[in-house]
Structure 1
Amino acid sequence: MLNLPPRIASRLNSSQFSNLYTFLVAARHLSFAGAADELCLTPSAVSHRIGRLERALSIRLFQRLTRQVCLTEEGERIFGILQHAVGELSEALQPSSEAEVAGTIALYARPSVAQCWLVPRLADFTERYPLVALDIRVGNDNADFRTRNIDLALYYANGDFPGLVSHKLMDEKMAPVCSPEYARRHGLLAHPEHLRNCTLLHDALAWDNAASDAEWMLWARQHGMLAQLPGRGISFDRSDLCVVAAMNHAGIAIGRQQLVQKRIDRGELILPFGGFTQSGHYDYYLVHPPYDPMPRRLQVLMDWLHECAGPSASTGNVEPLLV
């Protein structure tokens, strides 16, 4: 229900509802130019619509600054009411049968988990829910749910998401991985101390604000191997690129079990120093803004992701380090 304050609702007429939607889009982008792109209008047309709405309602919705706009206190309040109303309307228009769940979901994920874990499983989801259109987006920055119109994010993180709702999807474990040839060439199976002669492969953006060697340092501290870490290495901005480099004998990488287990099962990678151990506080989380109510199409996707992760969100037994 569009529960606008009575003094505002009484001033609305049919011509103002399109202006309200223009305001909703502009408030989400905090940019008239961004709203213009989404609505296929000019920034000037967006500005004129907002101006007409403000005059009709006798309230100021935006503060116009030199290079940007920001919402006034009243504008923030109206924006919140409109977002809630549009969400309720979208949910009310959903079919009642689960088999007919429909709509678009924008899912944002880190590149590595998207490529190695999420994308190979999508065929099952589309077969079950053919009327749900998934919009998969990837990146290393945190999702801006407001301006990019993202519904759900899948992060490898420590679980701290201020102002957002998070659900732990699955645990993660880590271990050094390399090709069988690289391990043989450096004698790693018999002599773990030979790690000091290797090239380390780094995911330089493993998690928010991580140092470029954060994963290696975390693993080495856990296993008393700091003195064996070499100074040379190659850095990437994606864990899966580290894995590809390791498969092609470029060095040794920290492998995340959820992302590399199939490579190990096929013999493309090995664990030269023993099995996987807990990565510390870093696991996989589903994150979204507060929804009231939760859209059914989004709940269906989250339930399916939890099903894919398994009931225990576990990746197997921990094996000892070979030292």
Structure 2
Amino acid sequence: MLNLPPRISARLNSSQFANLHTFLVAARHLSFARAAQELCLTASAVSHRISRLETALEMKLFQRLTRQVNLTDEGERIFDILQQAMGELSEALEHSSQADIAGSIALYVRPSVAQCWLVPRLADFLERYPSVSLDLRVGNDNVDFRTRKFDLALYYANGEFPGLASQRLMQERLAPVCSPAYAQRHDLLNNPQNLKLCTTLHDSLAWDHAAFDAEWTLWAQQHNLLDALPKRTLTFDRSDLSVTAAMHHAGIAMGREQLVQKRVDSGELILPFADFSVCGHYDYYLVHSPLSALPKRVQVFIDWLHECAQQTVT
């Protein structure tokens, strides 16, 4: 419960609870500007709300510096109390609302995003919603929702899904990746012209009707390096397989940031030329039949996917 001291509780009215929420967001970001973005307010409005709260509580919550704000000792104490209270409230609401969240969700996913992004996260969803079962299938074809009993599909695509409902889950960017040993062997660091000496690894089914070298061509065109692409290639029908081959020194693959960033962070892969910089107009989309309202179990799964996407590379 919100265990504020009696002298503070007595000063809180309905308007101050809105100011407390504003304070909670601002304290989490340590920025009035970022809090304003989240709350759809102006930074000035956030500042005024905080000032009114400080006046009501008769305490200073923030130290206002030239380009940043920091919590005072009192601000830290109130922030800790609010975080604990909001956590307890969220948990109570979640438990009370899960009674009707049950059943099975049939999900169709592109193989690489299933392997590298979705499956490692599923334990969290199953822990939150123990009455929901998942039936996950992978493939490179598009689902006909009229004849196949899928609730939801997750595609790497350009966002065009005639006759279906869709929403973008997360953006994607591209850059070549290889093992450190392969980069050293072929003197690749900051030398993209040395690609001619390499083997390029391809996802030949990157998206619908894509050429086998579509991702590499897209990257090379944007960097004026079409002439540097080698003739020697190794192709797969999955992006994660080309990346696995790159990790084992078979060549250099086109990496998708959302799928390979952890490998880059761990040092198993490196970016020999530049950071992820090419946006190829192909992102990750959630697609389903155009129902007037999705079953609640499907909607909570979609909400959870968006939460996961916010926690990954942006």
Q: TM-score, normalised by structure 1?
A: 0.66
Residue aligning to 2:313: 315
Unaligned runs of 5+ in 1: 1-95, 317-323
CA deviation map 1:223-266 (0-9, x unaligned): 11101001110000000000000000000000000000010111
Residue aligning to 1:206: 206
Same amino acid, percent of matched pairs: 68
Distance in 2 between the 1:159 and 1:213 partners?
A: 21
Equivalent runs, 1:178-197 vs 2, <5 Å: 178-197=178-197
CA deviation map 1:36-59 (0-9, x unaligned): xxxxxxxxxxxxxxxxxxxxxxxx
Residue 173 of structure 1 contacts residue 315 of structure 1 at CA under 8 Å; is this kept in 2?
A: no
Distance in 1 between the 2:192 and 2:211 partners?
A: 24
Residue aligning to 1:219: 219
Unaligned runs of 5+ in 2: 1-94
Residue 178 of structure 1 contacts residue 269 of structure 1 at CA under 8 Å; is this kept in 2?
A: yes
Residue 174 of structure 2 contacts residue 255 of structure 2 at CA under 8 Å; is this kept in 1?
A: yes
CA deviation map 1:113-151 (0-9, x unaligned): 000000000000000000000000100000121222000
Residue aligning to 1:236: 236
Residue aligning to 2:97: 98
Distance in 1 between the 2:205 and 2:198 partners?
A: 21
Distance in 2 between the 1:142 and 1:176 partners?
A: 27
Residue 219 of structure 2 contacts residue 278 of structure 2 at CA under 8 Å; is this kept in 1?
A: no
Residue aligning to 2:153: 153
CA deviation map 1:3-62 (0-9, x unaligned): xxxxxxxxxxxxxxxxxxxxxxxxxxxxxxxxxxxxxxxxxxxxxxxxxxxxxxxxxxxx
Residue 188 of structure 2 contacts residue 194 of structure 2 at CA under 8 Å; is this kept in 1?
A: yes
Distance in 1 between the 2:173 and 2:190 partners?
A: 23
Matched, 1:255 2:255: yes
Residue aligning to 1:164: 164
Distance in 1 between the 2:149 and 2:143 partners?
A: 9
Distance in 1 between the 2:211 and 2:293 partners?
A: 39
Residue 99 of structure 1 contacts residue 128 of structure 1 at CA under 8 Å; is this kept in 2?
A: no
Shift of 1:279: 2.6
RMSD: 1.3
Residue 107 of structure 2 contacts residue 153 of structure 2 at CA under 8 Å; is this kept in 1?
A: yes
Residue 174 of structure 2 contacts residue 280 of structure 2 at CA under 8 Å; is this kept in 1?
A: no
Distance in 2 between the 1:150 and 1:97 partners?
A: 28
Distance in 2 between the 1:202 and 1:280 partners?
A: 15
Distance in 1 between the 2:301 and 2:278 partners?
A: 27
CA distance change for structure 1 residues 133 and 226 in 2, over 3 Å: closer, same or farther? same
Shift of 1:190: 4.5
CA distance change for structure 1 residues 97 and 190 in 2, over 3 Å: closer, same or farther? closer
Distance in 2 between the 1:152 and 1:205 partners?
A: 21
Shift of 1:291: 1.2
Residue aligning to 1:142: 142
Q: What SS is found at the alignment partner of 1:133?
A: strand
Shift of 1:97: 4.6
Shift of 1:191: 2.4
Distance in 1 between the 2:222 and 2:278 partners?
A: 10
Shift of 1:192: 2.0
Distance in 1 between the 2:305 and 2:150 partners?
A: 17
